[in-house]
Structure 1
Amino acid sequence: MTSLLTNISAMTALTTLKGINTQLDMTSNRVSTGQRVSNAADNAAYWSIATTVRTDNASLGAVKDSLGLGSSAVDTAYNGLNSILTDLQNMRAKLQTALTPGVDRSKVQTEIAAIQNKMKATADSSVSSGQNWISVDSAASNYQSQQQVVAGFSRNAGGTIDFSYVKVDVGTIKLYDATGTSITKPATEAQVFASQSLTGTAPFRPGAAAGTRGTADFSSAVVELSIKLNGGAGVTLKLDKASLTAAVADVTKVTTDEFIDAINNTIAATTGLTGNVTAGLDSQGRLTFKTTAATSTTKIQVDTTANNTIDVGFGAASATGAVATGTNASSTTGKGTLDSDVGTYTAPGMTGAYTVANFDISKLVGTKGDDDLRAIINAVDQAIGKVTDAGTKLGANKTQIDGQKTFVDTLMKANDRTVGILVDADVEEESTKLKALQTQQQLAIQALSIANSSSQNVLSLFR
């Protein structure tokens, strides 16, 4: 039936043409962009994954740049060290020549002074990206004794980002330090140790079956320890069934953790010990008692008592027991390998300490002068060993950085392939499809034209 009001054929042809045009637009976009997923509407899941991988690749690119800068800094420091190592070897040869009778040591010193100046100039000029790792100023606000080169980037399953680093210990490779201020080490508390691990003592049944091994039976056992602080009167620490019942799950199977907790609970309730002493286990599992104050005047003495029925590593009662004293804060010189004091002159007319960077042999005469010269030669030889060690460390850092650079580059390429698999279009397939859709579009337009002409055919019947 033909209707003047509704042209069903034209509507069908138009719907078909719209569908073809939609597919044609999509295919054209894929051909022009080279991607089958260019926005979230194309495929939300793939777009999200690809976006995250691209973001990670950008971060890896920054890591690669960081590794490049780190590699440059390591190379610069290594080249400086290597040059100075050659200078030190040359210096040692000249010093050995100066030992020969009749050699004018003042002339040799002129050559040595030139070498010393050259070494300092080499170290000062070993700068990369504003950083100098072999000639430093430890008092500067931007000084870091340990440099960290970003070497890796990762994202865990929860989305948390983490970085890995190549660490360069500048404090152990520096040759010169402009400031050389003293470094204060904190005072330490007094700490006494038992003679063996707690689980190795007989009461904790090291050879027993699995159910009781490493636990102690306190149903009838008693541990009494006399603790003295700073030479004062001893305070007795007692652990038995009565004191352990409320603190442990089973007094016949007291674990080492429960035992330590029980000791500390007893200390907290004992006048003279609370707040002054803590008990624990060291890395070897030995029972330890430590003072809470950290000064050289703090002293702790631990001894067993006559009523002690089991041994927890402190042995039998004695006159002195185990004694320990804390240490005061101390200072060490923070200079570099070449400007640290390595000896003191003994020759007539020479006073004070000297370093590899500033020693003077021009006035070293007589027996003591020869002794000083030999000491200087030994000091230079030791400096050669230290500089060699520093070069070894930098070489290891260099190898690690180069290996990481290769890995990051490989990882970035793998990520690019992952993104390509998810979002890239098959251009050959899409091009073929484009031609087919263009042909379908032309046919749909012709079909629509034919469907629209049918109403004109009806009107001709009324002419």
Structure 2
Amino acid sequence: MSSILTNNSAMVALQTLKSINMDLSKTQAMISTGKEVGSARDNSAVWAISKVMESDVKGFKAISESLSLGSSSVAVARNGAETVTDLLNDMKEKIVAAQGENVDRTKLQADVEALSGQIASVVGAAQFNGLNMLQGTESVDILSSLDRSNDGTVTSSNITVGRQDLSFDAGVYGTGADLSANATTTLGGNLAADGTGDAFSNGANELTALVAGTIAADQTYNFQIAGETVSFTTATTSADDLAAGITAAINAAGIEDITASVNTATITIASTSKFDAVEVNTSGTGAATFALTANGDTQAAATSNSQTITARASEIEFSTTAGVSEGDSYRAAIGGVNYDYVAGPGETFEDVARGLKTVIDGAGIENIETRVRQDETTGAWVLQIDNDGAAQTLTDVGAAGGEATGGLVGLDKLDVTTDEGVRAALANIETYIDTTIDSAAQFGSSQGRIDTQSEFISNLTDSLRSGIGALVDADMEETSARLQALQVQQQLGVQSLSIANQAPQTILSLFR
């Protein structure tokens, strides 16, 4: 049936043309924007995923900037620590030169002071954007990653970089828990025969040798003292003569820090060795015996051919079981004057012992010398303090909760104008150099980690962008082919609609 009111063919052709035009419009939009999914209407699920990933990309851009800033900050600190190391090596050269007696120590001291001032300037200037990592102990967190879990929770991650305090700051002694049990003081010097110390003094430690037994002429007896052997051959059978002969031989040998005296048949060997114990051994071809009694803290009288005279220096021995926390404070009081060292983060009792040494040496106390050693038997770190002056007291205490001492404390007080100062400076400069080398190494390690993370974030960002593109970007080759096809369909649709619209015209022929 034909109708002039309803043209079904035209309606079908019109709907088809509308559909073609919609597809053509969508394809043209894809071409103009380059996106297959440009809005939530196109594909809500894909669009939502892409938007989450795009927000992560923007977050990673901020992280990349944070890592760049952090890398620059750490690089400045590393360069500063390396520069300080170089300056300390220059200072060591001056200190070594001062070991000679025929040099102008006053001029060398001026050079040492100038280098110390330059180091302080470098440490103060080693900042980036106001952040100086060569001062203080508080660690610095650098934003390094954005982590998204399966449930959509987002958390940030940081790279923590520890400051390396290379300042000359004295620190602040703590007021917290008592740590005195972690350090034990043993007085040395002028020790009585019962092994008790009467003072922290400059006295000699002694060993007695009581001659006894059968003595004959032409017998040879040896005393080995501090590795040197002294011999005496008897001419009589008298114990007094044997004791006197050995005493004279010991004094004639000129063994450093060793003198001997005799009282009838008793030989007294006195040692003023500051830091090293002196071993005494006896031997001989005859039947005479020597009852050796060492006047040391732990030595007891014994009939033996071997004994040890303890070093004169007093000792502060640190615990082998306790740990060291940031802020732990240790104090050596010499003659009623306090000398403090407060531990920084990650330090050990070796650092505490060496730190106390630099503080004491930096004070320039007359007649006081120090040395740090590790006990071969227990592994404990020991600070030895020798007094070559008037008798005075020595005590130690400890407390938690302090503010850390700077890693180069005492550097500005090195003195190479005296023999004692030169010896102390040579020992301490090694500690300072080790400190700055460790600091530079720590910064180098941190910077390497930051740079690696920065490269990873850059690659990750590229991967995310590629993934987003795979989700929403249009395939331009396919889109171009579709555009041409739709244009042909549009032309055909228009022509079909035109033909359908002409159909009612044929009804007019019925009325002619």
> Structure 1, unaligned stretches of length 5 or more?
137-143, 191-328
Q: In the alignment, which residue of structure 1 is the partner of 2:478?
A: 429
Listed one character per residue, the Cα deviations across residues 320-339 of structure 1 (whole Å, up to 9, x for unaligned) are: xxxxxxxxx96465598999
Q: Call closer, same or farther: CA 1:423–1:355 in 2, change over 3 Å.
A: closer
- Aligned residue number for residue 144 of structure 2: 151
| 1:341 correspondence with 2:359 | yes
- Structure 2: which amino acid aligns with 1:398? Q
CA distance in 2 between counterparts of 1:444 and 1:132 reads 74
Q: What is the deviation of 1:423?
A: 1.0
Question: How many correspondences in the alignment?
Answer: 307
In 2, distance between residues paired with 1:53 and 1:334?
A: 49
AA partner of residue 113 (structure 2): A
CA–CA distance in 1 between the matches of 2:509 and 2:411?
Answer: 115
**Superposition TM-score, scaled by structure 2 size:** 0.56
2:442 matched to 1:393? yes
Q: Which ranges of structure 2 fall in alignment gaps of 5 or more residues? A: 182-326, 331-340, 345-350, 369-407
Describe the shift of the 1:13–1:187 C-alpha distance in structure 2 as closer, same or farther (beyond 3 A): farther
Q: For residue 21 of structure 1, what is the aligned residue in structure 2?
A: 21
Does residue 176 of structure 1 match 2:225?
no
Deviates more, 1:150-159 or 1:448-457: 448-457
Counterpart CA distance in 2 for 1:184 and 1:15 is: 89
Letter paired with 2:415: I
Separation in 1 of the partners of 2:411 and 2:511? 119
Evaluate the alpha carbon distance shift between residue 183 and residue 43 of structure 1 in structure 2; reply closer, same or farther with a 3 A threshold: farther
Instruction: Show CA shifts across 1:204-247 (max 9, x none).
Output: xxxxxxxxxxxxxxxxxxxxxxxxxxxxxxxxxxxxxxxxxxxx
- State the Cα distance separating 1:77 from its structure 2 match: 0.2
TM-score by length of 1: 0.61
**Alpha-carbon distance in 2 for matches of 1:90, 1:184:** 39
Which deviates the most, 48-57 or 336-345? 336-345
> Partners of 2:138 and 2:135 in 1: how far apart?
12
Match for 1:28: what amino acid?
Answer: Q
Contact 2:167 2:409 survives alignment (8 Å): no
Cα separation, partners in 2 of 1:23 and 1:358, compared to 1, 3 Å:
same
Alignment of 1:88-237 (within 5 A): 88-136=88-136, 145-170=138-163, 173-176=164-167, 180-186=171-177
Cα shift readout 1:406-447 (whole Å, capped 9, x = no counterpart): 211121111112111111110110011011101111111111
Q: Distance in 2 between the 1:148 and 1:175 partners?
A: 20
Matches within 5 A, 1:250-261: none
Q: Give the letter aligned to residue 379 of structure 1.
A: N
Distance in 2 (alpha carbons) for counterparts of 1:392 and 1:330: 25
Backbone CA RMSD of aligned residues: 2.8
Aligned equivalent of 1:449:
498
Residue 74 of structure 1 aligns with which residue?
74
Offset, 1:459: 3.0
Which residue does 1:87 correspond to in 2? 87
Deviations 1:234-275 (A, max 9, x none): xxxxxxxxxxxxxxxxxxxxxxxxxxxxxxxxxxxxxxxxxx
Q: C-alpha offsets along residues 378-404 of structure 1, whole Å, 9 cap, x if unaligned?
A: 111101001111111111111111111
Change in 2 beyond 3 A, CA 1:413/1:341: same
How far apart, CA to CA, are the structure 2 residues paired with 1:186 and 1:347?
33
Task: Judging by fraction of residues, say which structure has more strand.
Answer: 2
